[in-house]
Amino acid sequence: MRRWLGVFWLGLVFATLAGSQQQGFYFRMPVISDDGNDILYQAIPIQGVGQPSLDVFQMVPGAMSTVGMRVFLNGVPFVTGQDAARPHFSGQGLHVVYMRGGNGTPMQVYLYDRQKGLETLISKVGLTPGSNHSVCPRINKNGRIIAFASLSQELHDPDGDSTSDPLPTYATPSPSAPWIIYIHDRDVDGNGLYDEVPPAPGVVTVATYAVAVASSPYIALSPDTGGTYIAYQVFNPTGKVWGLFVKDWRNDLVTDPPIATSPVAFSVPSVLGIVQPVNGALVAFTANVAVGANRAGVWIAEVDFAQATPVATLTAISLNNGVNGAPVLSPDGSHLAFHSTATDVMPNVTDRNGVDDIFVFDLTTRAPIWSTLLVRDPSAPPPTIGPFDPCVHPSLSSVVGNSVYLAFEHWLKDATGQPQILIRKVQIPVGGGSRNLLLSWRPRARRYVPLP
């Protein structure tokens, strides 16, 4: 452990020095593991120097402090070339999904098993890749269920015989909803083995199901072991509004009407399967126009699937005066983060810079506990967040001790202008004060318990 800490601090010094110099890569789309140990991200070469890659950075959460942030340049690449993008991984970071392609070929969805060092094509029928683009994959916490959006209509293979089946009516695309949402189940027989190669005829171990259609490829999958719920958007050309839907794909139950509607598209929602207070889903989403009599803001919806017609209850987390995006729930349902240009999210904190900041809310109190606003200090040593540096695309760990870990994109407003990844330890306020915390006296709310 002492050696590990030495390497960590040496890397921190190197990263700190390098953080103020021109880098060879843009670092984007961070995803942090449940325990805060691994951060997955996309590395894009600047001016064609090097190969695009998906990298994993490993850190020691216990070595992080609440006063410092970590910028890293020394990840371990596992996928290079061919425009790999939109990475996401399972709870402990063992299974990674992403899309890659380009050079005149459709984007395809792949899985990388970090234990086996093996890459597997997911968007396929048998061994044949999909004929059109498959994008934006998500994976649940044990790596069994993969959801993705596709324009390929031949990937529906519910009996796992490597032959395309006709699409069900509810998953047939239309001009206004061209994206088919597919669920790939790697363990249909439930024996705990992920059998990617089609077995003997009549034996079903792997199957791909078309479960819905969407107008946007940006979908969400609940991380529970069953990967039970999906969230997606459908544009209604008649009413000219976007609807946000949640579906229990295993039981073919969907919110109808949608849980929210808007004349503009929602940001990518976040969804968890929850045990309490309802048997169903917890969904976080942004609405950048007024909802009913309320201002724009960030919302959570509790969707009760314990009845034939699912019922959604909406609660405003932040009604504000800005443009909001990328809401994300921590895997244990304890915290919510999003980015926003709003100036009125946090009381007693002045913000007039007009750029995106990250905000972290405790869902027990439904109050903000941290923001990048609190650490914008151009006089601090690098890595630092300047007055006009946008901070976007947050990712949260579960609670580790008395903290949660946050990874996000920090866009430098210097001569290079490129994004880098910052990692922050956010301490949960417990009966005391800290200069890094925003204390709240709001009433206590419900603690959400995710599905196992």
Provide the pLDDT confidence category of residue 249 given band limits of 50, 70 and 90: very high
Q: Is the pLDDT of residue 189 over 70?
A: yes
CA pair distance 411, 354, nearest whole angstrom: 14
Answer yes or no: is pLDDT of 48 > 80.
Answer: no
Q: How confident is the model at residue 352 (pLDDT cuts 50, 70, 90)?
A: confident
Across residues 55-71, what is the average pLDDT? 66
pLDDT band (50, 70, 90) for residue 347: confident
Residue-level pLDDT at 449? 92
Number of Cβ within a 10 Å radius of residue 418: 18
Segment 254-270 shows an average pLDDT of 93
Q: Which helix (H) or strand (E) holds 326?
A: strand 324-329
Q: Average pLDDT over the chain, rounded to whole?
A: 83
Reduced to 3 states (helix: H, G, I; strand: E, B; else coil), residue 245 is strand
What is the SS3 assignment for 375? helix
Q: Give the pLDDT band (50/70/90) at residue 290.
A: confident
Task: Report which of residues 423 and 358 the model is more confident about.
Answer: 358
**Is residue 73's pLDDT more than 60?**
no
**pLDDT computed for residue 258 by the predictor:** 95
Q: Among all chains, which residue has been given the structure tokens 């417990």? A: 430
pTM for the model: 0.88
Q: pLDDT per residue over 125-160, tens digit each?
A: 988 999 999 999 999 999 999 999 999 999 999 998
Is the peptide bond between 258 and the residue preceding it cis, with omega within 30 degrees of 0?
no
Which has more confidence, 406 or 444?
A: 406
Q: What is the pLDDT of residue 105?
A: 87
Write out pLDDT tens, residues 90-134: 988 889 999 988 778 899 999 999 888 888 999 999 889 999 999
Residue 41 in this model has a pLDDT that exceeds 80: yes
Beta bridge partners of 100: 108
The tens digit of pLDDT for each residue in 293-305 reads 667 899 999 999 9
> Does position 438 have pLDDT exceeding 50, yes or no?
no
Of the candidates 31, 14, 163, 132, the one whose C-alpha atom is nearest the C-alpha of residue 91 is 31
pLDDT at 200: 62
Of the listed ranges 189-198, 207-216, 365-374, the one predicted with least confidence:
189-198
SS3 state of residue 61: helix
Cα distance between residue 215 and residue 236, in whole Å: 9
Residue 102, classed as helix, strand or coil, is strand
Cα dihedral across residues 226, 129, 99, 150: positive or negative: negative
The pLDDT, as a whole number, for residue 444 is 53
Question: What whole-number distance in Å separates Cα of residue 33 and Cα of residue 20?
Answer: 27
Lookup: tokens for 38: 């691994």
Q: How far apart are CA 298 and CA 42, in angstroms?
A: 27
